[in-house]
Amino acid sequence: MKIICSKSNLLNGVNTVSKAVPSKTTMSILECILIDASKGQITLTANDMELGIETVIDGEIIEKGIIALDAKIFLEMVRKLPDNDVTITSDNAFRTEITCEKAKFHIIGKSGEDFSYLPQIERSDSICLSQFTLKEVIRQTSFSIADNFTNKILTGELFEINEDTLKVVSSDGLRISLRKIQLKNVYEPKKVIVPGKTLNEISKILSGDTDKDVNIFFTDKHVLFEFDQTTVVSRLIEGEYLKIDNILSADYETKVKINKKEFLSCIDRSTLLIKEGDKKPLIMNIMDDVMELKMNSVIGSLDEEIDIAKSGKDLMIGFDPKFLIDALKVIDEEEVEIKLLNPKAPCFIKDEQESYIYLILPVTFSTVA
């Protein structure tokens, strides 16, 4: 095999697919990136058997062939090459030479025939979104994915399609994040659970352009994302997601409208008094035209008031400040609406159209020092 391509094209391609290289594996071939120049285009592939990424890069094929190179070493080599054209040559003994200007690396690769290619996915059952929309949806929901495996279902996000609406839901058991997206077309109903790792890696690759689309294809066991020159295939998480419709339609007795930026700044200040690992709640005392925020810890205390528009009953309630910050950070509106029932019931932060809903469970006052 012999190929020539620019360093920038090669580096972008290697960076893209390396997100699917496993950090630990007993199969050494999976620690490699496959360079396939056997079919008239230069394709880079990585696959950890749960997540696989394939991308096509521009370049010239002098001699067709295929080689698998250690991903970590290959990435560092490409990263540190001069900014010029790179030539990659390999022989039948998998000896590989990577040259750029006066720099020349020699490494031993592995047979491309031993590499695990991405599964073949039937491209029939699909939806289409802009890259911007998908990137935003992931940003606005992924923070509340569970990061442990006690309940594998919660390490993924629910993608629920109903006619022209896509609903994306995540939860770690203490909060729920929901985004509703209006689709351009009408689709058959479908529910799948996409691994959070897959979505986070896709978010890093997406350009975020509003005029570039992502096609998402579904099968019983896999989801495939296709955009630009890149294909991402992931296994789905099997099982039934939380039934959240009844939870999200709960009643409320107190409604608060508040300036998001001021509220977020105030909560952020309260966290200065929390040592790492501490679980100190922020106490919100909601009255007619003002909300009093209190934080008490071994470091000190904070009392601050913020103007609000309130309807309904007065209420005092406590929350983990991090959960409030995570939700408020991803809301773009200047003003947010918070709905509450009592000190033991969750609060809802949502807009009128319910295009986003954030549910956060409160903290009992017995935990206050």
Each residue of 32-75: pLDDT tens digit? Answer: 999 999 999 999 999 999 999 999 999 999 999 999 999 999 99
Residue 151 has pLDDT above 50, yes or no: yes
Same domain, 185 and 256: no
pLDDT at 367: 43
Residue 369 has pLDDT above 60, yes or no: no
Instruction: Look at 155-159, 278-282, 362-366 and tell me which has the smallest mean pLDDT.
Output: 362-366
Identify the residue with better confidence: 274 or 334.
334
Identify the residue with better confidence: 141 or 368.
141
Say if CB 300 and CB 273 are below 8 A apart. yes
Same domain, 103 and 133: no
Regarding beta strands 301-307 and 230-235, do their DSSP bridges make them parallel or antiparallel, or are they unpaired?
A: unpaired
- Segment 292-302 mean pLDDT: 91
Same domain, 209 and 263: no
Q: Is residue 64 situated within a structural domain? A: yes
Range of the domain at 264: 250-367
- Tally Cβ neighbours within 10 Å of residue 364: 11
Q: Is residue 313 situated within a structural domain? A: yes
Mean pLDDT of the chain: 94
pLDDT-derived band at 368 (thresholds 50, 70, 90) equals: very low
- Segment 99-106 mean pLDDT: 97
pLDDT at 278: 80
- Per cent of the chain over pLDDT 90 is 85
- Segment 218-239 mean pLDDT: 96
Same domain, 78 and 165: no
Residue 365 has pLDDT above 70, yes or no: no
pLDDT at 79: 97
pLDDT at 245: 83
CATH number at residue 302: 3.10.150.10
Domain count, the chain: 3
Residue 256: partners with Cβ closer than 8 Å, 6 or more residues away: 286, 291, 308, 309, 310, 337, 338, 339, 340
Q: pTM for the complete prediction?
A: 0.92
Cα-Cα-Cα-Cα torsion 8, 11, 15, 21, nearest 10 degrees, comes to: 160
- Tally Cβ neighbours within 10 Å of residue 174: 15
Q: Each residue of 248-283: pLDDT tens digit?
A: 877 899 999 999 999 999 999 999 988 877 888 999
Q: Is residue 87 situated within a structural domain? A: yes
- How far apart are the C-alpha atoms of 169 and 147, rounded to whole Å? 15
Please say which residue of 227, 245, 263 terminates a domain.
245
Q: Each residue of 200-219: pLDDT tens digit?
A: 999 999 998 999 999 999 99
pLDDT-derived band at 358 (thresholds 50, 70, 90) equals: very high
Q: Is residue 339 situated within a structural domain? A: yes
Q: Is residue 121 situated within a structural domain? A: no
Identify the residue with better confidence: 28 or 366.
28
CA atoms within 13 A on the CB side of 97: 12
Q: Is residue 234 situated within a structural domain? A: yes
CA angle 357, 257, 334 (to 5 degrees): 75
Nearest residue to 211 via CA among 136, 137, 130, 134:
130
pLDDT at 25: 84
pLDDT at 302: 92
pLDDT at 366: 56
Same domain, 199 and 298: no
As beta bridge partners, residue 42 has 57
Please say which residue of 52, 81, 114 terminates a domain.
114
